Each structure stands twice: as C-alpha cells, then as structure tokens.
Amino acid sequence: MRYPRRAIHRWGSIRETIEEGLSRLNLRRMRHRLRKSLAQRGTIATARILLREGLRAPPRSTDRAKEYAPVHPFDLQFGVETSGLIFAEDLPSGSRKDLFNTGYFGVSPSVFRQVLHRLQLDFEKYTFVDLGSGKGRALLLASEYPFHAIAGVELSPKLHSVAVANIANYRGSAQRCGAIRSIEADATQYSFPDGPLLVYLWNPFEAPVFTSVLANLEATLARDPRPVYIVYIQPDLDPLLEASSFWRKLWHDEFQMSEEDYAAHAFPPRAEVCSVYRSVFPGSQ
C-alpha cells in the first residue's frame, strides 16, 4: 500500500517533533549529570572524565527497554494518579539537592504489602514517615494499616501537589488510617514526629543527601531514643546504614511482585530488594 503524499509529509513532521523532543530530553539529562559531576568532583576531574568518555567507543547493546502499562491498576481502582517514571532532571525544586535526587517511580503495591506483613509490628504505636514520598502511593498503601499517623516528605513542589490531590481523592475500603499528609520539605532538615517511627525509603537519594538525611534522623534519636524501623527498598546505600552504630540490620531479602504490578513496572527485574533496620538504643538489645 502506498501512503498519500500528505500523510507522508505529516508523518515526517511528527517524527521531526519527536526527534526534537528526544534531543532536548537527552540534552537536559546531560546538563544534569554535568552539574552533578562538577558538584561532586570539581572541574579538573570532570574534564578528565569527559575526555575519557569522549575517546571511548560507544557500547554495543541489543537490550530493549521494557514495555509497561502507563497507568497502574492501583490508580484506576482508587481514582488517583501515582503512575509514571519521571527522571530527576525533570523534577527541579530550585535546591542544590536536586542534583542528588533519583527521580520518581511508585512502589509495587504487592511488594509493599509483603514487606509490611513480614514486619509484624504493632502499627498503632508507629508513625509512618516516607522520605522522598513523590506522588504518595506508599502513603496511600500505608493507610491500609492502623498507623498512628502517616507523613510524606517531598522536596519537589510538582510531586507534592499531586500527592496532596491523591490524598484528598483516595477512598479505599481497606483504609485504616485517615491521618495522612504530604509535606513539601527538605528531608535533611525535617523535624521527625515524636514516638516510635517506621521510616520508609524507596531509594530516593544519592549518597550526599542520604548521608545528611541519616545524620538528621540519628540526631533525633540521640536526643530522644525510641524504636525506629527503617524500611529501605532498592537499598543502594546499605553500607552507610551498616557502618552506623545507630542501626542493627534485621534482614535483607527479595520480594516478587504480582503479575499486575510487573505489567506496570518500568524496569526488567520482577523482584524488589529490601533491607530493614531497627534503631539501637539503651535497653533495646
């Protein structure tokens, strides 16, 4: 079949628009990575890396990106908007810490529920705190448990505003905690609530920010020792917690996601890795 000349011209325009958009996206990512390297390594080291990478032959890869459903069934079921993969460079807040943001993707509900089931905590005594809470999917999932309260801390105004709307619109029949809020704040300066805490992280920060967030939490514990659990999914910076005297590692495991979750998952692995830590304070051993 031959396509009409007008259709061919129209497709050419669409293709040019797509290619232009991809070029701008790649340029944004390159600028983001360059600023990060300059902040971490300085000018000379960054120049050396650019020279080395420029002389290296490009890698040959036959890997294909995983296709996934753009809208998670969780959103369709509860009338919220927690789907989508958003890169760090597309979430500017105006803070220098934007350089060490890892972007946004919501946790798989099946994995979240498996992790909390394994904890076997008396949830009514604990406040759930999600650091880097994004659009708030974990906050909504946490509301299925009888937590004392639920709080999300998010630096991006864009994600925070979506989370606020999601909290207002969510009406799950399994909801057991209605005290939910999203806070637009810097996690390195966040004032943690009193009482026992379950601090949840889905790999939200790179090392420079993670270190400061951990120092903030540990300073809180030093002033007011109490039970605190850290649930850390995709724990790239486990060594920082393992090296701290404030924490004892309880377990590290993989959790398989449901078929429904995997169909809407942006990444190839079918399992999420999770580490759980408990605070060490006088009398806790």
Range of the domain at 48: 5-55
Token pair recorded at residue 143:
């509301």
Pair (254, 131) in one structural domain: yes
pLDDT tens per residue across span 69-101: 999 999 999 999 999 999 988 898 888 888 888
Identify which of 207, 193, 260, 272 has the alpha carbon closest to the alpha carbon of residue 233: 272
199 within 8 A of 131, measured Cβ to Cβ: yes
Count: domains in the chain = 2
Q: How far is Cα 262 from Cα 251, in angstroms, rounded to an integer?
A: 24
Pair (51, 77) in one structural domain: no
Residue 67 lies in a domain: no
Pair (98, 51) in one structural domain: no
Burial class (CB in 10 A: 0-12, 13-18, 19+), 9: exposed
Which residues share a beta bridge with 154?
184
196 within 8 A of 241, measured Cβ to Cβ: no
pLDDT tens per residue across span 5-33: 444 344 455 455 545 554 544 544 444 45
Residue 60 lies in a domain: no
Alpha helices (H) along the chain: 5-41, 43-55, 73-78, 109-119, 137-142, 157-169, 207-223, 238-242, 259-263
Residue 254 lies in a domain: yes
277 within 8 A of 249, measured Cβ to Cβ: yes
Pair (96, 51) in one structural domain: no
pLDDT tens per residue across span 119-157: 999 999 999 999 999 999 999 999 999 999 999 999 999
Residue 241 lies in a domain: yes
